[in-house]
Structure 1
Amino acid sequence: MGYKVAVIGATGNVGREMLQTLAERKFPVDEVIALASERSAGREVSFGDDQVLKVKDLSKFDFKGVDIAVSSPGAKVSAVHSPRAAAAGCVVIDNTSHFRMDPDVPLVVPEVNPQAIAGYKKKGIIANPNCSTIQMVVALKPLHTLAKIKRVVVSTYQSVSGAGKEAMDELFNQTRAIYVNDPVKPEKFTKQIAFNVIPHIDVFMDDGATKEEWKMAVETRKILDPNIAVHATCVRVPVFVSHGEAVNVEFDKPIDEDAAREALSRAPGVIVVDHRANEGYVTPVEAAGEDAVYVSRIRKDPTVKNGLSFWCVSDNLRKGAALNAVQIAEVLIRDYLKK
């Protein structure tokens, strides 16, 4: 017997990836319902190779009888409809930022803290972390087991797909405009993104950090360890899919480079490609469409006591969003919602 699953935000980048991931991983569904805004109602989306779903209006949908919803409609929409779905008995796995820091909502990366899923019973909602946080904590977890992490300094190189389909269109259109000598007009981004990098993701906060940088710090502490200090600089780069991160870690005791590489190689969800030669590392282009967090450039940092640096890259639409949500759903049905 399968499950009745709703995909909220089914016409967006992440929603379409959720549908694809559910099909690819053969999630045991009896029925899949595609939900989006009223203006998207009636559109068609694909589920697997041979199914086409007609999108229904989220605002009018009754969640009674739905077992699980995987949701990525935007924080304001989720604030209204995720509690409404949960009140109808549906467990919501929410990919927006709205519920992540709610103490009664577990924030989960299955390779890192699957035990936290048990907390879903408080509100019927499980939060998916920020895409940049997910790939970083997947790589940090095996190292934290090896030696306690004290501090992380991370610089991100985040693709435009993290800002949605309009952002991807803007990169394409600006690139084309430059080649044909047309004017370049920023719309989704604050500055030109084509052939440029923008050190600004989300709104600025009082301390000078952006909210994206704040998210990486507070989410890492909630998921992995409340005692880890995180300092992030988040940068948007002219790449369509996959985020890269340069991560510097300080531990509470010496950590051997080879032991770190071995621990990462054994870790679930991590693939180490680390050869000190041309092409001996993974870039965003190679990670696009893949499920793993790829780790490269592992090396000691001699400028800080017990320091280690590495590069990690992952598809932000898959592991950074859709895949992580589906993996949570898989643990949920295995351990809590067995039929």
Structure 2
Amino acid sequence: MLRRSTIGGLLVPAMLALVLAGGCGSLGSTGASGEGYPTEDIEFIVPFDPGGGYDSWARLLAPYIEKHLPNDVNVVVRNVPGAGGLVGANQLYSAKPDGTQIEIVNMTGLAAAQLAGESDFEVEKFTYLARVARDPQVLSVAGNSDIETIEDLKSLSAKRPVKQALTGFSTSDGLNTVILYDLFGVKYTPVMHDGNEEARLSIVRGDTDAGISSLESGLGELESGDLKGALYVGESKPKQGEPGYDEVKDTPSLQEAGHQELATSLEAQRLIIAPPGLPDETKQVLDKAISDALKDPQLLAKAKESELSPDALNSAESTALVDELMKTLGQYGGLMKSAIKNNS
């Protein structure tokens, strides 16, 4: 049997070690409740079907966000498609702000839905964690069409309405169509399709005259010559060597047409968001993990292989971007609602 002095000599260091370990855990905590966020797996929602650009980005990012989080948890991608991304956005908006759910979204699409009065959320209330990439938009026509510019579409519309391939009005292509055609005086008839791929194919077949989709989504048809650009909508064009450079280098841009103020506002912004009211401590952990992931050399190499072009902003920068975009786009709410009413 151990003597009392021996027991005391063993217990005191052990208890001291436990106290120190507890203190270190508390000091190192980054969670909102002092528990060392994250302690649970994080669900990474993609509000579209598998296989598209948003899905590709989420699946590329997930393991690198895991890598750069302070605790060992899984980041699990889950597709929640429906209503052009609105099902997933509405679900996240009402989710508990505990850091267990994040989502990659098309910011322009969310703005379009809100301006059209078709959303159950307020864009400004989401928590913005990062911008992953910019997604310039291209107004495209068939590769064998005589149309070269949006002015040519205006001339066509003086004879008959342009048949415009659309996926809906409360979408980024709907927002672009309503604003740009009003700006340039193009008369059109919307021809609705279930998705962007179907819309682009209708232009190639000659069922419709024109349509708007992201450069990334329509790059295959632009590369093959099935489609060609009539107007480029984006902050800047791809640089030589970047995906899409050859396909849009000669396409007229919105800036060249004298509308710089809309060039950034109308291109799609791929953002990562969380529910409203996310605690600052939790936001800081996710902000850092996502920012570090987007700078990870391995991720950048894989993005290049997949022809994905990161253009990262952190949480504060993304929030400021959204505020500026909503100020610019907010003035078009009446125009969006009129377009829906006139074509319903």
TM-score under structure 1 length normalisation:
0.33
* Structure with the largest fraction of helix: 2
TM-score under structure 2 length normalisation:
0.33
* Structure with the largest fraction of strand: 1
Max radius of gyration: which structure?
2
